[in-house]
Every structure is written in C-alpha cells, then in structure tokens.
Amino acid sequence: MRALERFPATRIVATPAALDAFAWPKGALVLRTAPDEALALTAEKISFAGDEHAIVERDDGFTGAWVPAKEALAFLERACEWEPPAVRPTFAQGAVAGLPAKLFFEAERVLFLVPAPYAADLQERLT
Amino acid sequence: MSKPASRIIFEGRPVDFAPGETVLAALLKAGRAPTPGGCVCMGGDCPHCVATVDGVAYVRTCQTLAKPGMVVEPHPLKDHPPLLAPGATSQHTAARNIHCDVVVIGQGSSGRKAADEARAAGKRVVTLEAADGQEAVGVYPGPLVVARASDGMWHLHPKESIVVATGAAEIQPVAPGNGLRGIYTPRAAERLAAGGIEFGKLVAVGAPPKNVACEKVDGELVRFEGRERIEAVVVKTAKGEERFACDTVCVNLGLQPRNMLWRMGRELPIDVRVVGDAARESDLPPCPTAGTLCTCAGVEVSDLESVFARGFRELELVKRATLAGTGTCQGGVCVPHIRSFLKAMGERLQDPFTARPVARQLTIGEISAGAWHTATPRTALDGEHRRLGAQMERLGGWWRPWTYGNTLEEYWAVREGVSLCDVSTLGKMLVRGPDAEDLLERLYPTKISTLKTGRCRYVLLLDDRGYVMDDGMVTRDGPNRFALTFTSGGSTHAELWVRDWAEAWKLDVRLLNQTQSLGAINVTGPHATKLLQRAGLAEPPAYLAQTIADVAHVRCRVFRLSFTGEVSYELHHSAADSVKLWRTLMDLGEDLGIKPHGLEALLKLRLEKGHIVVGQDTDFDSTPRRINHEWAVKLDKAAFVGRDAILRTNKVAPDRQLVGLEAEGPPPREGAVVWNGKDYAGYVTSCTFSPVLGKTVMLAWVRMVDGALPETVTVNGREAKRVKTPFYDPEGLRARA
C-alpha cells in the first residue's frame, strides 16, 4: 500500500486577473484548478491581495502522494482515459481510476491528489 | 531420446501440435474437430471452429495459437456453453489506454500503406493486426477503438482518424448438407494444406485454391452429401446435376468486405475510412434454396422463406424476426445469402444491417477492463464509525453509519442526554462578492435581505417550475458573504444550480464548495450546551445563529439549529480535525451518557418533528404548498426562481398534500398505500414507531376530495388519523431551550 498524506493548502477564489497577478509565496505549489480558483499547496498562511472579495480558506481536505514518474505514467496508462500532458512541469485534472484527481507532473515525479473522502479509494487503486 | 511433443488437451485427450500451429489446425491434423461441422474459413469470419479454450467459451480456434497444456472443449450440441466453465475462475483483464492520431486496423498491404502514409505525415500511428494478437473488437464514440491483445485490452484514443483495412472474407456456402465436416473455403484449404493437413480427394467448386491438388468443378452448388463427413458434392453443371464423390470439398463463392468496424464508426466526428479489400463491393452468391443459413442462431433457409412470406422484407427486420446474424459471427455467414434471397424475391439489394460493438465475444473481464467501481466518498470520521462497530451504508452518496448497534439507545441519548452525529456529508458552500445577496435573493424564495449577520435561516431551493429541489440553511457572515448548506444527496446538483444562475445573471460573486473539505458534527440533546461549554465554547450561539469559536481547541463554525427536535449545534471544521474533535467530545460527554447516533435514529428523530427529507418525502412535482412549506416562500418579494410558476399553480385548487398521520401499532412499510374508504388516496413516504409518543407517526401523500383532506384514512388495514406536524414538541420549546 502506498502511503498517502494530507496536503495542507489554501483555496482562493478570486477574479482571474487577481490570481494571475498575485505573487505566490516561495515554495508554494499553486494549482490553477479553474480560471477563478487556485489551490496553493503550502502550510504557510497566504495573504491574498488583488481582489477585495476573494474567498481565501485554509483547506486540509486534499490527500495524495508523489509517485515516481515512470510508475505514475504506467498507472495512468491503465487508469486514465485522457491523454496526460507531455510538457513538464504542468498541472492537469480529471477522472483517474474513477476518482476526481488533480495531477502535477514534474520530470521525475507526479503528484496525485484527491479530495480526502476518496483517499481510501486512491490508496487501493494506486496499489 | 526424442523431444516430447507439445500437446493440448481436447475432450480430455492429448493432441500434439507444431510450433506456430493454431488449435484448429492441430485438431484437424489429428483427425478431430471442435464443432460438428460447417464450412471452415480459417479467417475468423465464421462460427464453425469456436470452442471453449481454458474455460473461456466462444474462442475461435482458427485464430488461437496452440499452447502446451491448453484445454479445449467443444461447446454442447444444444444450448449455450456456460459463461464460465466449471472450475474456471473469472479473470480481471488489464486495460491500456493508448493515445495517438491514427489507428490502422489490419496490416495487409492496404493497412501498411495507410500506416506508412500517416507516419510520413508526422502522425502518431497505432496499428492493429489480428494475426499478431491485436484483434479490434469495437469502435465507439469517444472516439475509442477497443482491441483485445495478448497483454489485455487496448483502449485506443485516436484524435484524427481510424482506418479500417481488414480485407475481405470468403462467402460461405448455404446449401443442404452445409453442416457436414470436410467443407472449406479456398483460403482455408490453402492454409491447411501448407500446414500439412491431408485432404484425401478434394473437389473444388468454383475457382480452386492455389497450390492444392484438387478436382475442379464448374457449376452451381446444389448440395453436400454424407453422414457426419462429406462424402460427395452435387453440382449443377452444363450436363445437369452431377455428383462428385470426395473426402473434402472446397467452395468458392467470392468475397465480401470485412467492414463491420467501419460501419460501427463511420458516423463518428472524426475521419473513419475503409481501404483495400475491406472497401470493395460484396459478391452476391446464388439465392439459397435450402440448408443452414445461420449456424449461430440455428436458422434454416426455410425460416427465411417463412418470415419473408409473413412480410419481413427488410434485412434489419429479417434479422430481428429470425435472429440470423445475432450470434458468434455477427452475420459473417448469413448476410450475403439474405441479401441474395431478398433480391431474388424482388426487393432492392439491401445494405448489411447496422453494425454494433462488439464484433467478437468477450469475457466479462475483457468488457470491464479499464472500468472502475463508483467510488463512494468517506467522511473523515469513517474510521471512527467502523471502530465503534457501526453498520455502514451508502446513503446520500456517502458511506454513513446507519446504526452503532442499538438504535433505541442512540435515540434516547438524543432525547434525554447528548449525542453526536457525523453530518460532514452536508453540502457546504461559501458565497462572497458585491452581488452575493442579490444572487441568493434571486435563488431562494425566502428573504435574504432581512437576514442579519450571524443569523441562519431555513431555505427551500426551487426549480423554475416551482418544485422543491433541495433544502438547507443560509447563514450571513457579513454584508457580502454567506455560508450555504444543502442536503447530502442534493449538494452536487445544488452547487451546479447556484453556479449556473450566477453565471447566467452575470453576477459578481465568488463561490467555493467546501463539502469535501469540511467536517461537520452535530451535537444534540438536552446536555448539548453543557458538553460544548466543557469543550471551551463559552458563549454558545442563540437559536438559528452561528458563532466562530474554538471547541476542544478546534476552530469551528458553530451553528445552532435543530433537525432532531432537541438543542443542537452543528460544528463545521477542517476535516483534518474531525477525529480529534469527535474523540474529545466523546470523552468529555462520557458522564453525560453520550453516544453517537446513526442515520436510522436520526430519521426517527426528525420524523417526530415532521421535518421532511427532500427526495424521500418529496416528489418531482412537490410545490411548497403541497408539502406545507408555504411559510418558507415569500411571494411579496421580487422575482426569484420558481416565483412565476408558484403564482400560477396557486390559482389551481390543491389536489393532494403531504400530511402527518398517527396510528396505533407497528409502522407500515414506507411506500404503503393510503386508502380513503375504498379509494386509493396516496402513499406513505416516511414512517416510524415513535418511542417518546408511543405510537406510529407517518408522513404521507394524501389526495383531497372536494377540496378537503380526509380526517382519517386506512393504511395496512388500520385506521390512521390525520394530525398536524410536528408530532413531537409542536411549540419547539426543546430545540430553543
């Protein structure tokens, strides 16, 4: 069984322009999950600026694991009907193994992230 | 010592085979056959070699390479083989997703040419060749090409085109005696002869096979003669009917294109084309007059004549009426003959019938390759519930505790002590922005503008026909910020509903779904306030209000609401803290007799209060008036979704109502019919025996008669009295205590 962990994060819903312009803290992995929404994977508190009406909420509701790239791509070949992107690094999201997954592709590894309620299923299906 | 021969097992006895030999070739060389007879094609086009191989039925032995120890059994003569042979185990088959620009099916000369051209144009090309172990079995929207390969199922996702280059199949003879052994198509004879099969005296009707010694006969096939094996063939020649004694006969009736995969995919929105022999016109055999038309479905030419005489004159209708073409070969044998027959009967020459996936029998494992069970989400407390011995059920789209073992104890803990319930499954959404209030004012039938900061309000969510879609709470966090809750089962749809309207109205709002990020625990019972004070909540919110505070050192949004009818607090918090919060509250409440309660107890408690469950107590056409929730609709406010429909339907006299019923004795089943005298009056949507009231309480749909509801009705042969809800604590004093 692959060990999964919760990824501390902050979710920000704001205007696309504000999200585009914001200087994210160093070390935060920022996944742009929608034009008006970002998921910043960091334990650091984010003081978002640029949209006075932005919703900025701490969110510890994502669970996942970094998987070596070769293993990840082999898994995706079995479990993902859409074509994983070729460029690195890049973010993609969609159904993987029947789960709502967010993926971050680096050259040597891939982050698999799902909402924590699906953690048990991800763990079972990644194995 | 000579090297031991490789062997397969056929009907319990060993049969030798040479390397590279198919199962069928090995059997024929040994004088055996997997089926009673029929013309053999060696091309995978007919059903005359199918057998059960290693427990899998309907395997084409002419396309299956023999392997040492392979167990081959003929299918039963009557009925079908079992889907899974005795002793065989169901195997999951892996799926590979392969993304490309072009898929070329078939690697004959046309297929190779098409693949080379695509590669030269810089395309990513995947080729499939059945002889190499990649057998395309279906073309689906997507587009998706599914192939069976030696390492599992391939799911090919071509972006630009699918090229079908599967060649042409030989037309099989349909004539009396065509079920005998020893009949071959020319290509089959060539392949088997090259493989060392002895034919004895071979008579070839029509163009003969190449490089095979035979007696060539020109003329029209009349019939085959013999008992089990062929002994003679009768041909109508220039001299009249002539009988040719033989050991084997080879019949050449021309070719038909193997274009089924093209026909499956030709309407897809990408380039799907057929090339080479697969694109040729089909030859037309002579009109059949007798014999087996379709071995797969056991259809004789006489059946064809019979359905034609009854008016079935379209190929598609003939297929449905006779089942010809619905079996193993999917019309590979019968279609040219049916076309010929219909044409001879004066109909136009008709196209082959619609091709639908799959083109080959697949195992359940192969069909389900790449499919995943629907994942049911689990709350952060799932492990706690299981540790406490809860019976877990899938409810409202989540795994939830139904009971922890003693529903009555759970019930009384709520009514007399304190209890926890995991309500993390509730839909949760934040709305913020200059137009946030405007959005909710337009969406909900209640007044949002009068909702003060820190206060909560029950809301119905209506569709544009005025029917109840969902319900929940709205809480104002500030001038432009609100927290919404939805039902567990309805939250996904409700979220989309809110987003769609916000977009349609072009409102300046930000929306964040927090359903899966936040945990929620309901603390309920007369000692709930005491418990929360022990957990550090110094100032619990008033009824229908909220506060943000630390409870057991966990940051919570604390709502004061009640679904159970007792004092209740809903603690929304980061799901990462759910276990800590739950365990601390359980420890702090030990001397108060705290117990968790599951859904079974909760449904009993809420029914005593007359609270509806949307989807259970409501129908697709439940208006607020029909469910007695007109109090939650403010028609004096400006437009909201469903307002016009409600104004319109309110002009019509009500015809039925969701009502409360009380009865003595045990509760009926939910769904039980309600009778008004001898007339059907409706049905029960929710019912339970109320421990605190000592009687059965129900919600039920009841028809009105002359504008009035009956005072008493009959359910399960017992009288039930219509009463006002709530059944329990109608003044709501306990919840507000």
Burial state string for B635-660 with b = 16 or more CB within 10 A and e = fewer than 16: eebeebbbbebbeebbeeeeebbbbb
Q: Are residues B147 and B181 in the same domain?
A: no
pLDDT in tens, B671-691: 999 999 999 999 999 999 999
Shortest distance between the Cα of A27 and any Cα of chain B, in A, equals 22
In a domain, B324, yes or no: yes
pLDDT of B500 reads 98
Contacts 24+ apart (CB under 8 A), B665-670: B665/B696, B665/B718, B666/B696, B667/B696, B667/B698, B668/B696, B668/B698, B668/B715, B668/B716, B670/B616
Average pLDDT over residues B504-516: 97
Task: Identify residue A2 by its one-letter amino acid code.
Answer: R
The beta-carbon neighbor of B378 closest among A13, A98, A120 is A120
Instruction: Please provide the size of chain B in residues.
Output: 737
Q: Are residues B246 and B261 in the same domain?
A: no
The letter for the amino acid at B646 is I
Domains contained in chain B, number: 5
Write down the mean pLDDT value for chain A: 95
Judge whether B668 and B684 are in contact, CB under 8 Å: yes
pLDDT over 70, % of chain B: 98
Angle at A82 between CA A76 and CA A85, to 5 degrees: 75
CATH number assigned to the domain comprising residue B262: 3.50.50.60
Strand, coil or helix: B350: coil
pLDDT at position B551, please? 98
Amino acid code (one letter) for B615:
G
Using a CB-CB distance cutoff of 8 angstroms, which residues of chain A are in contact with residue B374? 98
Tokens encoding B661: 């019923």
- Name the domain boundary from B303, B320, B351: B351
All residues of chain A having their beta carbon less than 8 Å from the beta carbon of residue B372 are 79, 97-99, 125
pLDDT in tens, B95-135: 999 999 999 999 999 999 999 999 999 999 999 999 888 99
**Percent residues over pLDDT 70 in chain A:** 99
Task: For residues B651-680, give the mean pLDDT.
Answer: 96
- Please identify which residue in the block is written with the tokens 């065989």: B88
Same domain, B309 and B347: yes
Q: Which residues contact residue B249 at a Cβ distance below 8 angstroms, ignoring those fewer than 6 apart?
A: B182, B183, B184, B202, B203, B204, B205, B224, B230, B233
For chains A and B, what is the number of CB pairs under 8 angstroms? 92
Please indicate, yes or no, if residue B225 is contained in any of the structural domains.
yes
Reading the block at residue B398, the tokens are 């989540």
Residues B126 and B190 in one domain: no
What's phi and psi for B225, nearest 5 deg?
-125, 150
Q: How does pLDDT run across A4-27, given as a tens digit for each residue?
A: 999 999 999 999 999 999 999 999
Give me A1's structure tokens. Answer: 């069984």
B541 near B547, Cβ under 8 Å? yes
Among B371, B516, B574, whose Cβ lies nearest the Cβ of A115? B516
Q: Is B94 in contact with B151 (CB distance < 8 Å)?
A: yes
At position B691, the amino acid (one-letter code) is P
pLDDT of B5: 67
Q: In this predicted structure, what is the pLDDT of residue B181?
A: 96
Q: Can you give the residue ranges of every domain in chain A?
A: 5-62, 64-126
- Residue B4, pLDDT > 90, answer no
pLDDT in tens, B199-253: 999 999 999 999 999 999 999 999 999 999 999 999 999 999 999 999 999 999 9
Beta-bridged to residue B156, according to DSSP, are B98, B145
A75 and B CB contact within 8 Å = no
Considering only CB atoms, B574 lies closest to which of A36, A60, A117, namely: A60
Overall average pLDDT of the B520-525 stretch = 98
pLDDT for position B91: 73
Tens of pLDDT, residues B588-625: 999 999 999 999 999 999 999 999 999 999 999 999 99
Q: Among candidates B217, B232, B218, which has minimal Cα distance to B180?
A: B232
Judgement on whether residues B270 and B132 belong to the same structural domain of the protein = yes
Quick one: which H or E segment has residue A105? strand A99-105
Q: B731 and B616, same structural domain?
A: yes
What is the pLDDT at residue B3?
Answer: 54
> Is the CB of residue B181 less than 8 Å from the CB of residue B133?
no
Spell out the alpha helix ranges (H) of B420-576. 436-443, 491-504, 528-534
**Letter for the amino acid at B56?**
V
Q: What is the pLDDT of residue A2?
A: 79
Are B370 and A78 a contacting pair at CB < 8 A? Answer: yes
- B235 with B114, same domain? no
Q: For residue B92, what pLDDT band results from cuts at 50, 70 and 90?
A: confident
What pLDDT was estimated at residue B82? Answer: 80
Question: What is the DSSP pairing of strand B427-432 with strand B481-486?
Answer: antiparallel
**Is B201 among the domain residues?**
yes
pLDDT band, very low/low/confident/very high, at B473 (cuts 50, 70, 90)? very high
CA distances from B718 to A31, B235, B662, B664, B665 (A): 61, 82, 11, 8, 9
Q: Is A81 exposed, middle or buried (0-12, 13-18, 19+ CB in 10 A)?
A: middle
Any B CB within 8 A of A52 CB = no
Q: If you search the block for the tokens 């993609």, which residue do you land on?
A: A92
Residues of B engaging A, defined by a Cβ cutoff of 8 Å:
94-99, 155, 157, 370-375, 377-380, 382, 398, 430, 432-434, 480, 508, 510-512, 514, 516-518, 574-576
In a domain, B397, yes or no: no
How big is chain A, counted in residues? Answer: 127
**The pLDDT of residue B81:** 86
Backbone φ/ψ region at A12: left (φ over 0), alpha (ψ -120 to 50), beta: beta
Do residues B634 and B690 lie in contact, with contact meaning Cβ atoms separated by under 8 Å? no
Whether B379 and A120 have beta carbons less than 8 Å apart is answered as: no
ipTM exceeds 0.95: yes
Angstrom distance (rounded) from CA A118 to CA A104: 18
Shared domain check, B318 and B214:
no
Measured CA to CA, the distance from residue B144 to residue B268 in angstroms comes to: 10
Give the whole-angstrom CA distance, residue B506 versus residue B614.
Answer: 29
Q: Does B612 share its domain with B703? A: yes
Q: Tell me which residue range forms the domain holding B704.
A: 606-735
- Answer yes or no: is pLDDT of B713 > 90: yes
B551 within domain boundaries: no
Predicted pLDDT of residue B1: 47
**What is chain B's mean pLDDT, rounded?**
95
**Cβ contact B95:A76 at 8 Å:** no
> In chain B, what residues touch A120 (CB-CB under 8 Å)?
378, 382
Q: Would B365 be classed as within a structural domain?
A: no
Question: Does residue B18 fall inside a structural domain?
Answer: yes
Whether chain B has a CB inside 8 Å of the CB on A56: the answer is no
Residues B191 and B312 in one domain: no
Residue A29's Cβ-count burial label (10 Å; 0-12, 13-18, 19+) is: middle
Q: Which of B86, B89, B134, B87 is nearest to B107 (CA)?
A: B134
B661 CB-contact burial (10 Å; exposed 0-12 / middle 13-18 / buried 19+): buried
Phi, psi at residue A64, to the nearest 5°? 180, -160
Residues B135 and B56 grouped into a single domain: no
Is A115 within 8 Å of chain B by CB? yes
The answer to whether B417 and B594 have CB atoms below 8 angstroms apart is yes
Please answer yes or no on whether B576 and A99 come within 8 Å at the CB atom: no
| A14 in contact with chain B, both atoms CB, cutoff 8 A | yes
Q: What is the pLDDT of residues B371-382, one digit of tens each?
A: 998 999 999 999
For residue B213, the tally of other CB atoms under 10 A from its CB is 11
Residues B478-505 have a mean pLDDT of: 97
pLDDT at B89 over 90: no
The stretch B468-493 carries a mean pLDDT of 97
Residues B309 and B335 reside in one and the same domain: yes
